Amino acid sequence: MEASLYPGCSLGGLAKSYRESLEAAARALGVKLRELEDWTCCGASSAHATNDKLAVALAARNLGLADKVGMDLVVPCAACYQRLKVAEKHLKRGNPVDGLLVEYEGDFHIRSLTDFFWENVGEKALKERMEKPLQALSPVCYYGCLVVRPPKVTDAKNPEDPQEMDKVLKSLGANVKNWSFKTDCCGGNLILTRPDLQMKLTQRILDMAEEAGADCVVVACPICHENLDSKQAEISQEAGKSYNIPILYFTELMGLAFGDPAVEKWLGRHTVDPRPLLREKGLI
């Protein structure tokens, strides 16, 4: 199986562990993800707040490149996914893109990474590759808001209760907990402009994860990971309550289940170290 990959800007730095773990999971499953040649920034998450036309043009340029390749385009970052879907709707309506000549047929699908691993790769392949079941782990799956909303743009099948990440982890044995905050906003890029609001939103998500009986939160978005992982010490100081909840990329847990030797390297980059929890559970 082959697909194009639009990594986005975050996966080269902030979300390095996400990139390395998704590539390792793809290799383990026999999937070839071919990085889109000459891709550029899609504008997330600031372009649409400053110039609507530029925001569409930045994303549309990348779709023009993907259109020439002709394979489904896999997008790991929720913000990138949403911006590319906005541009897709614009192009499919036949609207022009200011300052940009884009020949667009659109005979391919833009796929979030969770959708791709569950719907394109599938449960059978995941279970066959599993070496270390995750049944000792009790995560909640946090999708964030951008990969599902607005549903007319994202084409989310179940925008209030997405299931793809849950199903991937359940197929690997994890005791996934149910909760109603899986698509609540973590504050997004308010971490830069209104950190006071961002920390309140993040604290609520962490509180609800604990209330659901989770021992960790699993994500599929670099911004969500950064917000939930990096601010727990500050939130603890402000709230007078200690927060130390591991935040993991779902692809890191795939690597763990597949027996990838690089797992501890990925986890070592986190602010809240997940390794003590995983050692306690006998998983590393």
Domains in the chain, start-ordered, CATH in brackets? 2-113 (1.20.1050.140), 131-280 (3.40.50.11810)
Q: What is the pLDDT of residues 204-229, one digit of tens each?
A: 999 999 999 999 999 999 999 999 99
- What band does 7 get if pLDDT is binned at 50, 70 and 90? very high
Does residue 97 carry a pLDDT above 80? yes
More confident residue, 119 or 188: 119
pLDDT value at position 193?
82
**Two tokens at 146?**
């951008």
- What band does 156 get if pLDDT is binned at 50, 70 and 90? very high
**Two tokens at 8?**
């986005």
Backbone angles phi, psi at 217, to 5 degrees: -120, 135
Is the torsion defined by CA of 50, 51, 54, 55 positive or negative?
Answer: positive
Does residue 130 carry a pLDDT above 90? yes
Least confident of 89-103, 120-134, 165-179: 89-103
Question: Which of 176, 161, 74, 167 has the alpha carbon at shortest distance from 126?
Answer: 167
For residue 172, the one-letter residue type is L
**Two tokens at 70?**
């002709």
pLDDT value at position 5?
98
pLDDT value at position 192?
77
- What band does 138 get if pLDDT is binned at 50, 70 and 90? very high
Does residue 59 carry a pLDDT above 80? yes
pLDDT value at position 47?
73
pLDDT > 90 in the chain, percent:
89
**Two tokens at 98?**
């200011």
Q: What is the pLDDT of residues 72-94, one digit of tens each?
A: 999 999 999 999 999 999 999 98
- What band does 279 get if pLDDT is binned at 50, 70 and 90? very high
Is the torsion defined by CA of 124, 126, 130, 132 positive or negative?
Answer: negative
When the pLDDT of each residue in the chain is averaged and rounded to a whole number, the result is 95
pLDDT value at position 103?
77
Q: What is the pTM of this model?
A: 0.97
- What band does 102 get if pLDDT is binned at 50, 70 and 90? confident
Least confident of 58-72, 94-108, 117-131: 94-108
Q: What is the pLDDT of residues 8-50, one digit of tens each?
A: 999 999 999 999 999 999 999 999 999 999 999 999 867 777 8
pLDDT value at position 51?
87
User: What is the arithmetic mean of pLDDT over 137-164?
Assistant: 97
pLDDT value at position 190?
82
Place of tokens 């999708």: 143
